[in-house]
Structure 1
Amino acid sequence: MTSIGARALRTRWFVRSPIPLFRAGLGFLFGGRLLLLQHTGRKSGEPRYVALETVERPDLNRVIIASGFGRSSQWFRNLQADPRCRVWIGFDRDRPATARVLTPQESVAVLDRYRREHPKAYAELAGVIEESTGLPIDQIPYLELTLDR
C-alpha cells in the first residue's frame, strides 16, 4: 500500500484533482481532511493552488499542514517568501490566512498528538512520506495557517 500512496503523491493529475472541486464550492465533500491553499508565486507573482491534507485543526481559525516533500516544495518556498495566502476548507471558501512555520518543539508536539490519535494513519503516512521523499516524517516542516475572521 505504501508504494501506491508514494506513486500517487508523485502523480500530478492525481494530486491536483481536488482543486476544481474546491474552486466550485464543493470542498465540504472532503470533510475538512483536505484543504485548498492559494499562495503567490515568488517569481511570477501569480496565484498558485495546491490541495493538501490537514494534520490537525486546533480550532476553526487554525489549521496545521505538513510539507511532505520538505522545504523544497514550491508552495512551501512561496509561503516563506510571502506568508499571506487563502484557504478553502470544509464550508469555508476563499478565507484569507497567514502561514507560519512551526518551531521544532511545536512540530514534535503536533506529530506526537497525530501519532496517538491516528496510529494507523500515522504509520501509513510515515511510510508514504519516507518512500516518496527519503525524509523521515519527523524531519518535514509543519506549518500553521491562521485564518482571518
Structure 2
Amino acid sequence: MDVGAKFLGTRWAARAPIALFKAHLGFLFAGRMLLLLHRGRNSGAERSVVLEAVDREDPDKVLIASGFGTTSQWYQNLKAEPSCRVSIGFRNRVPATAELLDTSASSSLLARYAADHPRLWKHLSRSITTLTGDSDEKLDIPIVRLHLERRPD
C-alpha cells in the first residue's frame, strides 16, 4: 500500500496534529494545515479535523479540498451548517463560513493546485485513489472556500 495512503488511512496519525492546534501551536505548520471545527449534523457536537490549505486567496479566504469526496463527514457537516471555526497560522478558533464550490470551480482550482505542486499532487492523488478505489480520471474532489472573520484593523 502507498505510504501516504497508509498514513491518511490511520486514524491516530491523521488526528495527531489536532493536539498541536489545540495547544495554539498551529503556526508550526506555516499556514499549510488548518484545524477545522464544525458541528455534527446529527449530534450537534463540535467535531475537529486537520486539513491542508490548498490555497489562500487572501488572509481571510482559505481553500480546502475533500480528498474523500462529498461523503466526508466534515464536508457533509459543513453542507448542513456552514458556520464553523478555523485555526490557521497564528489565528485560533476564528469564526468562519464555508462556501461549497461547484464541480467546475473545484476542478479548475484543483488543476491549478496540481500545476503549482506537481510532485505533491502526484503523491496525494495516488494516496486518494488507493484509499477510495477511484481512478485518476474519476477523482471528484470538491473544494470548499472558508471565509474567515476579518481581523480588526
Which category describes the TM-score, using the shorter chain as reference length?
over 0.9
Alignment check: 8 A CA contact 1:108 1:138 kept: no
| Residue identity in the other structure for 2:141 | I
Q: How much is the aligned-residue C-alpha RMSD, in angstroms?
A: 1.3
Gaps of 5+ in 2: none
Quote the Cα distance in structure 2 between the aligned partners of 1:139 and 1:19: 26
Partner of 1:92: 91
Quote the Cα distance in structure 2 between the aligned partners of 1:117 and 1:74: 28
Deviations 1:1-30 (A, max 9, x none): x71110111111000000011011000000
| 1:140 match: secondary structure | coil
Count of aligned positions: 148
Aligned-residue identity in percent: 50
| Residue identity in the other structure for 2:87 | W
Deviations 1:48-105 (A, max 9, x none): 0000111111110111111111111111111111000000001111100011111122
Gaps of 5+ in 1: none
Shift of 1:134: 2.1
Alignment check: 8 A CA contact 2:14 2:50 kept: yes
What is the TM-score normalised by the length of structure 1?
0.94
| Residue identity in the other structure for 1:143 | V
What is the TM-score normalised by the length of structure 2?
0.92
| Moved beyond 6 Å, runs of 4+ | none
